[in-house]
Amino acid sequence: MITTVTKAIFPVAGLGTRFLPATKSIPKEIMTLVDRPLIQYAIDEAREAGITDFIFVTAKGKSALEDYFDRAPELEKKLRDSNKTALLEELKRSDMESGSIAYIRQREAKGLGHAVWCARRFIGDEPFAVLLPDDVISGQQGCLKQMIDAYRETGGNMVAAMQVPDSQTKNYGIIDKGAENGRLVSVKGMVEKPALGTAPSNLAVIGRYILRPEVMDALGKFQQGAGGEIQLTDAIADQIDQGRPVHGFRFEGTRFDCGSKAGFLQATVAFALERSDLREEFGVFLDSITHLHHAAE
């Protein structure tokens, strides 16, 4: 059985309606947290975890994403000629070796599970990771790297897990918890976006997954779930019913929900404060604006 995970799927076909009008012409994944596009954070995290094959499930209107990962020889030359080595290094993050990145179109918006299924031929018979770029996770060590280290011991399927307030469970895939062992939780069942008051726990699935190829077969049944969409959560729950283990992994780090405006702004502020070139000036501004805000209350 192959247990090394080298392939990752990035579902990026969503319309990003919450960020209209910006997303009328810019893919949401290109919107920047400070100066790096959202997608770059997921790519960096995947690379750190040892991923070498990057599979994007895109849709119409997302071609800016492909350009972002292309080489920019003229720009590189200009930077080299003017000795801007730091910027050149930064550019390298988005330079993907030919053949390491593949784009697949999801032709109909049928849900996250369907988007993942669209990549099935690239996955074949291997375990694979899924990263939802809206979930940006900062910390000492990348979330996927932490999961892959744990997965080497557990095998099976694994989902990132995080405690959320009861009022929020309706927005997530929720885990029915079994035995706990350190950061690992044995998953007895999973429900996608349960109605308020019906969630089996408040342990939510966050957008990082390590999955066995059999999940693709479950997705290929095209069973509609919450919101009439084909849900990844349901296909993973199906694995449990088939007697295949699924683990939740309580990762270390801070997760920002960059699919929402408030989460995107929080991530922007947090990342700006982490940057040595911005911390001081931006910190002074934040202090002054929060004082003004309190004074106005």
Here the contacts of 65-73 (C-beta below 8 Å, separation 24 or greater) are 65/12, 65/27, 65/29, 65/30, 65/39, 65/103, 66/103, 68/30, 68/37, 68/39, 68/94, 69/94, 69/95, 69/96, 69/101, 71/95
**Residue 73 host element (H or E):** helix 73-81
Label residue 167 exposed, middle or buried (CB < 10 Å: 0-12, 13-18, 19+): exposed
Q: Please give the sequence-ordered ranges of beta strands (E in DSSP) within the chain, or none if there are none.
A: 7-11, 32-33, 36-37, 53-58, 101-105, 128-131, 135-138, 157-163, 173-181, 184-192, 203-211, 246-250, 254-257
Least CB distance from residue 172 to ligand G1P, whole Å? 3
Q: Which residue has tokens 């060590």? A: 141
Using CB under 6 A as the binding rule, whether residue 169 contacts ligand G1P is answered as no
In the bound state with ligand G1P, the residue whose beta carbon lies nearer, of 57 and 204, is: 204
In the bound state with ligand G1P, the residue whose beta carbon lies nearer, of 30 and 174, is: 174
Using CB under 6 A as the binding rule, whether residue 204 contacts ligand G1P is answered as yes
Site for ligand G1P in 10-29 (CB under 6 A): none
Using CB under 6 A as the binding rule, whether residue 194 contacts ligand G1P is answered as no
Label residue 196 exposed, middle or buried (CB < 10 Å: 0-12, 13-18, 19+): exposed
CA–CA dist 293, 35 (Å, integer): 27
Which string of x and - marks every residue 86-125 that binds ligand G1P (by CB under 6 A)?
--------------------------x-------------
Using CB under 6 A as the binding rule, whether residue 173 contacts ligand G1P is answered as yes
Q: Return the residue of 135, 176, 234, 238 that touches ligand G1P, per CB under 6 A.
A: 135
Least CB distance from residue 14 to ligand G1P, whole Å? 8
Q: Return the residue of 192, 194, 209, 211 that touches ligand G1P, per CB under 6 A.
A: 192
CA atoms within 13 A on the CB side of 103: 18
Residue whose Cβ sits closest to ligand G1P: 173
Q: What is the 8-class DSSP label of residue 76?
A: H
In the bound state with ligand G1P, the residue whose beta carbon lies nearer, of 123 and 161, is: 161
Least CB distance from residue 177 to ligand G1P, whole Å? 15
Which string of x and - marks every residue 249-278 that binds ligand G1P (by CB under 6 A)?
----------x-------------------
CA atoms within 13 A on the CB side of 146: 19
Least CB distance from residue 95 to ligand G1P, whole Å? 28
In the bound state with ligand G1P, the residue whose beta carbon lies nearer, of 79 and 247, is: 247
In the bound state with ligand G1P, the residue whose beta carbon lies nearer, of 57 and 79, is: 57
In the bound state with ligand G1P, the residue whose beta carbon lies nearer, of 156 and 207, is: 207
CA–CA dist 127, 106 (Å, integer): 21
Least CB distance from residue 278 to ligand G1P, whole Å? 27
Binding-site ranges for ligand G1P (CB under 6 A) = 112, 132, 135, 172-173, 192, 204-207, 232-233, 259
